[in-house]
């Protein structure tokens, strides 16, 4: 390929065109191409200046005119014979023997938006590098400051120590709570011994005290620790409040009674009473027993008397435990009336109305006997 330089104006600078050529020869056909480079006058001058000095031989039998003698070899630069070089005739090829200058020319002739984009990219990369360096310096500095603070605190704590002691007890019973974990600030927790006592080494100052134990609510408060020994005394923990087992069982008994399963309800009620004989459990189950005894009596079942006696006993126990409970007294009055004890029935019904004038069961019992 042959390079051809063309001096062009600014609109054509930097453009390159490749023109394919074909040469017809004897018995063959050869092809080639010409690369047309559009350059400025300044670039043309640089190309010419970079060309090697070439000497052309016009003499000899092959190069002279017929009948003329061969002349002395003459250089292209006749004014400066010292710079003329001898040698065979050579083709003048632009850029021969030197580095191709076109990459530099193309960089200079790039569009303005390409140059601006490259500069913006370089600026963004520089800012990113600066941000990373600054972040590393800041985080590294903060880490160093924290480490220095930790070391300083440890050095101070070596020479400035205090002790904290106390006893963990149950708030309801006052008994010691063994195994309770006592935490003061960031110090590892201390464990209370079998007598609920604990002792821990701490640093003077203000800290948060936290006491935890299984089955108890966590107790926390802020304390001020002075130098030397610090006695906290008794630390009381409240138990975690959970519904009693008897209450759960009695709720099940109530559900069975609503479903019409009276016999199963009585059995569940007796189970709740065996755990916790509350008056409400007693007179409620007593009323169920009286209802069952009434149905047995109507059906001719001879067990009604034993069932009624059981209900009367529970009602009497409830009234004894809670003598001012109108429901317990009215239930006892109803049980006495069912079993034929008129005097007890009227007496307990009147007592029930003293505490609750609107008690319907007490009014029913008095109405049976024509009393007010």
Residue 182 lies in a domain: yes
One digit per residue, the tens of pLDDT, for the chain of length 372 reads 556 656 666 655 666 655 555 444 444 445 556 666 677 777 777 766 766 554 444 344 444 444 444 444 443 344 444 444 444 443 334 444 445 555 555 555 556 677 787 788 888 888 888 887 777 677 766 666 666 666 555 555 555 578 888 999 988 888 898 888 888 888 888 888 989 898 888 888 888 888 888 888 888 888 888 888 888 888 888 887 666 788 889 999 999 999 999 999 999 999 999 888 899 999 999 999 999 999 999 999 989 999 999 999 999 999 999 999 999 999 999 999 999 999 999 999 999 999 999 999 999 998 888 776
Nearest Cα neighbor of 215 from 248, 173, 183, 251 is 173
Residue 249 lies in a domain: no
Residue 255 lies in a domain: no
Residue linked to tokens 């959970």: 242
Residue 56 lies in a domain: yes
Structural domain that includes position 322: 277-368
Neighbours of 354 (CB within 10 A): 12
Residue 125 lies in a domain: yes
- In this structure, the answer to whether residues 6 and 90 fall within a common structural domain is yes
Per the structure, how many domains does the chain have? 4
- In this structure, the answer to whether residues 44 and 68 fall within a common structural domain is yes
| Type and span of the H or E element at 182 | strand 181-184
Residue 256 lies in a domain: no
Residue 43 lies in a domain: yes
pLDDT value at residue 20: 56
- In this structure, the answer to whether residues 169 and 190 fall within a common structural domain is yes
- In this structure, the answer to whether residues 210 and 174 fall within a common structural domain is yes
Taking the complete model, does pTM exceed 0.85, yes or no?
Answer: no
Residue 267 lies in a domain: no
3-class DSSP state for residue 313? helix
The runs of H, that is alpha helices, within the chain are 41-50, 102-108, 112-159, 245-258, 262-275, 279-298, 304-321, 326-338, 342-355, 360-368
Dihedral sign computed on CA atoms, order 306, 310, 311, 315: positive
- In this structure, the answer to whether residues 87 and 26 fall within a common structural domain is yes
- In this structure, the answer to whether residues 299 and 346 fall within a common structural domain is yes
């Amino acid at each position: 390929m042959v390079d051809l330089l063309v001096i062009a104006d600014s609109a054509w600078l930097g453009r390159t065109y490749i023109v394919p050529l074909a040469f017809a020869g004897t018995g063959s056909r050869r092809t080639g191409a010409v690369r047309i480079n559009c350059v400025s006058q300044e670039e043309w001058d640089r190309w010419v200046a970079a060309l090697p000095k070439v000497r052309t031989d016009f003499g000899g039998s092959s190069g002279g005119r017929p009948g003329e003698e061969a002349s002395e070899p003459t250089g292209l630069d006749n004014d400066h014979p010292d710079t003329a070089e001898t040698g065979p005739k050579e083709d003048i090829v632009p850029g021969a023997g030197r580095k191709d200058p076109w990459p530099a020319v193309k960089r200079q002739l790039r569009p303005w938006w390409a140059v601006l984009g490259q500069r913006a990219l370089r600026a963004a990369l520089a800012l990113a590098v600066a941000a990373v360096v600054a972040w590393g310096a800041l985080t590294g500095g903060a880490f160093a400051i924290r480490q220095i603070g930790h070391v300083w605190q440890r050095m101070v704590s070596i020479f400035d120590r205090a002790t904290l002691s106390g006893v963990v007890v149950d708030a309801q019973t006052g008994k010691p709570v063994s195994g309770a974990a006592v935490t003061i600030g960031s110090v590892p927790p201390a464990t209370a011994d079998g007598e609920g006592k604990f002792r821990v080494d701490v640093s003077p100052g203000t800290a948060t005290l936290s006491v935890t134990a299984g089955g108890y609510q966590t107790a926390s408060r802020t304390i001020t620790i002075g130098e030397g020994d610090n006695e906290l005394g008794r630390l009381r923990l409240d138990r975690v409040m959970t519904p009693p087992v008897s209450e759960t069982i009695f709720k099940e008994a109530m559900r069975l009674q609503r479903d019409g399963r009276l016999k199963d309800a009585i059995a569940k009620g007796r189970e709740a009473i065996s755990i916790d004989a509350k008056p409400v459990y007693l007179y409620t189950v007593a009323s169920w027993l009286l209802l069952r005894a009434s149905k047995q009596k109507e059906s001719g079942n001879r067990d009604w008397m034993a069932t009624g006696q059981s209900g009367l006993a529970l009602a009497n126990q409830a009234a004894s435990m809670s003598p001012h409970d109108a429901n317990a007294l009215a239930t006892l009055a109803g049980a006495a009336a069912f079993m034929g004890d008129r005097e007890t029935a009227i007496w307990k019904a009147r007592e029930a109305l003293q505490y609750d004038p609107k008690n319907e069961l007490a009014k029913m019992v008095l109405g049976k006997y024509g009393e007010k």
